[in-house]
């Protein structure tokens, strides 16, 4: 029996509570992810995908409902504890790479370790190791603006992985990548998932990219409207199912 890594119970997020125009971006959503799960989130623009993963991953705090990561209820932790917990358990990858321009690639990758007061010798060792894995080891002394888009994204991924997170949270991680770099990233995710048991929760609008996952959540108007499991399907069969859901759901958006 696998361990639960992420549990969300009846999570609701309302932006602008107490204002004239509150927006309910997420309503009564529940999810159970076990260690080693690879879950993808799709849905129309503005349907609540980013709100969903932000509220499930300590980046934002739900208006209602509970979130447990690694068995710990996020709401019961203090701010410092959440910070430490994040460095120890979670790796974030966003569409914007968010590398700091004034830091070298080495220093950028080291940020989560520096923030958690890791000894310098260990920082050097871990950065080298993860940089090699992501093929950015020859770039460690360069600055982000001296690197290509693909290299910057790989550096951002190295930064997310340098703490050996148990759960990777990614919001449109391929949004700024060309198709080859996108597939290389997903091959890496797949490897981390299959060989190292890392759990992944990822938003994408690309059915091909989503077909690397084992489970797909289709979000609409702040609800999980559809869930598809890969099960025994081939990646290709799963891909067609994902395309179908997207196409059926998109058609419903037309009024006539
Ligand atoms: N900080 C915010 N304040 C107010 N409304 C927001 C905020 N962030 C998102 N929203 C609204 O919540 C809804 C869901 O947004 P979001 O989660 O970003 O959707 P998606 O990622 O699927 O495009 C949208 O209607 C959006 O306008
Ligand atoms: Mg979004």
Q: Which residues pair with 13 in a beta bridge?
A: 26
Of the two residues 44 and 80, the one the predictor is more confident about is: 44
Q: Residue 200: exposed, middle, or buried by beta-carbon count in 10 A (0-12, 13-18, 19+)?
A: buried
Domain extent for 10:
1-70+184-256
Confidence band of 180 (pLDDT split at 50, 70, 90): confident
Quote the pLDDT of residue 1: 63
CATH number of residue 225's parent domain: 3.40.50.300
Kindly tell me the sign of the dihedral angle through the C-alpha atoms of 159, 114, 88, 97. Answer: negative
- Whether residue 51 lies inside any domain: the answer is yes
pLDDT in tens, 123-159: 999 999 999 989 999 999 999 999 998 899 899 999 9
State in Å: Cα 182 to ligand 2 middle: 18
Q: Is 153 a member of any domain?
A: no
Q: Would the pLDDT of 88 be above 90?
A: no
Which ligand sits closest to the CA of 175?
2
Closest C-alpha to 89, from 175, 183, 3, 187: 3
**Residue 62 and residue 225: Cα distance in Å, rounded?**
20
Q: Is residue 205 part of a domain?
A: yes
Q: Is 173 in the pocket of ligand 1 (CB under 6 A)?
A: no
**Could you tell me if residue 98 is left (phi over 0), alpha (psi between -120 and 50 degrees) or otherwise beta?**
left
Q: Using 50, 70 and 90 to split pLDDT, how confident is the model at 181?
A: confident
Which residue among 42, 48, 223 is best mutated to probe the pocket of ligand 1, counting the most ligand atoms within 8 A of its Cβ?
Answer: 48
Atom of ligand 1 nearest to the CA of 26: 14
CB distance 176 to 97 below 8 Å: yes
- The three-point CA angle 60-31-49 to 5° equals 50
In a domain, 159, yes or no: no
- In this prediction, residue 177 carries a pLDDT of 83
Give the pLDDT confidence score for residue 191 in this predicted structure.
92
Strands (E), 38-177: 38-42, 64-69, 72-73, 90-94, 167-171
Position 206 in a domain? yes
In testing the pocket of ligand 1, which one of 15, 55, 171, 217 has its CB within 8 Å of the most ligand atoms? 15
Residue 128 lies in a domain: no
- Asked whether residue 251 is domain-assigned, the answer is yes
* pLDDT tens-digit readout, 112-131: 999 888 899 999 999 999 99
> 199 falls in which pLDDT band (50, 70, 90)?
very high
**Mean per-residue pLDDT of the chain:** 93
Provide the whole-model pTM: 0.93
pLDDT tens-digit map of 37-54: 999 999 999 999 999 999
> Burial of 153 by CB count in 10 Å (0-12 exposed, 13-18 middle, 19+ buried)?
buried
Percent of the chain's residues with pLDDT above 90: 75
Which ligand is nearest to the Cα of residue 94, counting in written order? 2
Whether 29 maps to a domain, the answer reads yes
The total domain count for the chain is 1
Give 219: exposed, middle or buried? Use CB within 10 Å, 0-12, 13-18, 19+.
buried
The model's pLDDT over 56-77, given as tens digits with 9 standing for 90+, comes to 999 999 999 999 998 889 999 9
Q: Whose CA is nearest to atom 5 of ligand 1?
A: 15
Residue 223: strand, helix, or coil:
strand
């Amino acid at each position: 029996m696998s361990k639960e890594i992420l549990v969300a119970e009846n999570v609701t997020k309302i932006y602008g509570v107490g204002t004239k125009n509150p927006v309910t971006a997420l309503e009564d959503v529940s999810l159970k992810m076990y260690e080693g799960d690879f879950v993808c989130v799709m849905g129309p623009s503005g349907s609540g995908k980013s709100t969903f993963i932000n509220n499930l991953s300590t980046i934002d705090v739900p208006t209602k409902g509970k979130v447990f990561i690694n068995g710990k209820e996020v709401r019961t932790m203090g701010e410092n504890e959440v910070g430490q917990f994040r460095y120890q358990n979670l790796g974030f990858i966003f569409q914007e790479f968010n590398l700091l321009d004034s830091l070298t690639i080495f220093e950028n990758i080291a940020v989560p370790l520096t923030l958690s007061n890791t000894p310098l010798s260990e920082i050097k060792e871990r950065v080298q190791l993860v940089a090699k894995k992501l093929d950015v080891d020859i770039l460690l002394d360069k600055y982000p603006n001296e690197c290509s888009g693909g290299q910057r994204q790989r550096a951002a991924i190295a930064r997310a992985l340098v703490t050996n997170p148990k759960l990777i949270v990614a919001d449109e991680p391929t949004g700024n990548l060309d198709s080859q770099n996108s597939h290389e990233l997903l091959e890496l995710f797949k490897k981390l998932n299959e060989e190292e048991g890392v759990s992944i929760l990822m938003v994408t609008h690309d059915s091909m990219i989503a077909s690397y996952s084992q489970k797909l959540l289709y979000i609409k108007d702040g609800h999980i409207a559809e869930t598809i499991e890969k099960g025994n399907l081939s990646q290709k069969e799963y891909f067609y199912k994902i395309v179908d859901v997207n196409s059926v759901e998109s058609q419903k958006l037309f009024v006539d």
